[in-house]
Structure 1
Amino acid sequence: MIKAVIIDDEEHCRETLSMQLDKYCPDITVVASFPSATEGLHYLQQTPPDLLFLDIEMPLMNGFELLEKLPAIPFAIIFTTGYDMYAIKAIRFSALDYLLKPIDRDDLQKAVGKFQRKSIAQMAQQIEILVEKLGAKKARQKIALPTAHGFDVIPTDIIIRCEADDNYTHVVLKTGKSLLVSRTLKEIEELLAGDGFLRIHQSHLINLDELQRYIRGEGGYVIMSDNSSVPVSRSRKEVLLNRFN
């Protein structure tokens, strides 16, 4: 039996989630429920569960601040949240799971199913990436990229470029390796926004630090550090040139 804890400042959210788990996820037993991160913190330190359902937006101490106070996190986490673009981006960057309120039954079952297929070691690594993304640590930034076998954790600065392939993306690395990632180029672009990456074509996203030359033309093209040529669309040419002016 999987032991779960719920931390959420809204009573009706705690009760609803507990009832949904009892009805739709019979392998999970809710062993404790807390209305604040402060109250839940001591319990987690003394009696860590298998799985924590953690609300993000809470007064006094939010869900992310709770994680920063834990010296170790030997359990899995599924976040529950209203629409918060920054929080969701940080969670997606780490490839962790989250549920938007009001929580849908199918989404809940999918998130629980993913949890059951992952190891605690994998999730600990993902949580470390999340905390890093939120600025709690100033270490080299990393991203978790979902692939066919699970996910690969890589520093963002070793990415040279990304190329769309329908609902997948080829991520080309400085190591010479290319990862086939089960995310669209648009999703990858959103995750890497602000980290020195630029969409220069409908099918191409590049790391500007790895750009070697720009060749003029109708849209032109760029030469990257791996000697690959990447086209620049007419609509993105001005955006690219403005980044260097």
Structure 2
Amino acid sequence: MRISALLIDDDPILRSGMKGLLSMVAPEVEIVAEAEDVQSGIAAIEKWKPQLIFLDIQLNDGTGFDVLEHFTQSTTRLESQVVFITAHEQYAVKAFRFSALDYLLKPVDPDDLRSVIEKVKKSQDDATGISHVELLLENIKRQTNSFKRIALTNSDGIHLFEIADIIRCESEDNYTTFYIRNNKPVLVSRTLKEFEELLRDHGFVRIHQSHLINLTFLKSYVKKNGGYVIMADQTHLPISQRNKERLQELITKTL
């Protein structure tokens, strides 16, 4: 299965290295064009309409975000999947994760590259989409702990939710179900641990191997029968022994 790709990066050495890595770990990916700055990147996307774009954040005349922002205001629809290439910038990485976008850290690891390509192939019919891009740009403009929305992607499509409306998350193997105020549950193929790390600064706490809750929707903490919580949606959730002390500390802080 051939995948046409565009490589946008201002470093010719990195572009050469990426092409070499791709030839080794993902020969089905063909770099049809390269660009080194915002304007040439936009022109290449419009000309080649690649299935996949590898996009560096820092470019000579701006950023990769400027490339994407152009398409939020253009009549030309972005039909490509986008994978960001970035140095280890914790803030940017967190924004990618909230927006459900793929990224690679420099120096690019061959195993990470192969993993991203496999994800791209599984969702080849799904472009990154303006909704993903707009959420990313919104998140990038915010402070790290003030993200307001999260993108959840599954076989039904892309779902954007206010973080404040998430009541709880429940895991089953490598899947997580989100229970959201005034919405039906949403199942995504990502682990609860990923969302625990992503949401811990937003009032969420892990109370059990299978449960992550939003303290805003905690109604009662019951100590009998081993300990459990009652949530605003009337669910009773168990508390593991190892998480009881942490939960009590957080409840005390909110009083």
2:91 partner SS? helix
Long gaps (5+) in structure 1: none
Aligned length: 242
Q: 1:205: which partner in 2?
A: 212
Q: TM-score, normalised by structure 2?
A: 0.76
CA distance in 2, matches of 1:25, 1:203: 36
1:102 partner SS? coil
CA distance in 2, matches of 1:18, 1:102: 14
- Per-residue displacement from partner, 1:170-211 (whole Å, max 9, x unpaired)? 432335744444333221122223334333455432123322
Structure 1 residues 217 and 60, CA gap change in structure 2 (3 angstroms): farther
Any residues of structure 2 matched to 1:181-200 within 5 Å, and which? 181-200=188-207
Structure 1 residues 122 and 128, CA gap change in structure 2 (3 angstroms): farther
1:194 partner SS? helix
Match of 2:139 among 97, 115, 133: 133
Structure 1 residues 60 and 69, CA gap change in structure 2 (3 angstroms): same
1:64 aligns with 2:65: yes
Any residues of structure 2 matched to 1:1-245 within 5 Å, and which? 1-58=2-59, 60-70=61-71, 71=73, 72-119=77-124, 121-124=126-129, 125-135=131-141, 141-146=149-154, 149=155, 153-155=159-161, 156-175=163-182, 177-201=184-208, 203-215=210-222, 221-231=228-238, 233-245=243-255
2:13 partner SS? helix
Q: CA deviation at 1:15?
A: 0.5
The AA in structure 2 aligned to 1:98 is Y
Q: CA deviation at 1:153?
A: 1.9
Percent identity at matched positions? 38
CA distance in 1, matches of 2:165, 2:63: 32
Q: CA deviation at 1:11?
A: 1.8
2:254 partner SS? coil
- Per-residue displacement from partner, 1:72-131 (whole Å, max 9, x unpaired)? 422111111222222222222233222222223333233223223324545214334323
Whether the aligned pair in 1 keeps the contact of 2:152 and 2:188 (CA below 8 Å) is: no
Greater alpha carbon shift after TM alignment, 13-22 vs 107-116? 107-116
Whether the aligned pair in 1 keeps the contact of 2:166 and 2:178 (CA below 8 Å) is: yes
2:108 partner SS? coil
CA distance in 2, matches of 1:39, 1:172: 43
Q: CA deviation at 1:226?
A: 0.8
Q: CA deviation at 1:243?
A: 4.0
Long gaps (5+) in structure 2: none
The AA in structure 2 aligned to 1:197 is F
2:132 partner SS? helix
Root-mean-square deviation (CA), in Å? Answer: 3.3
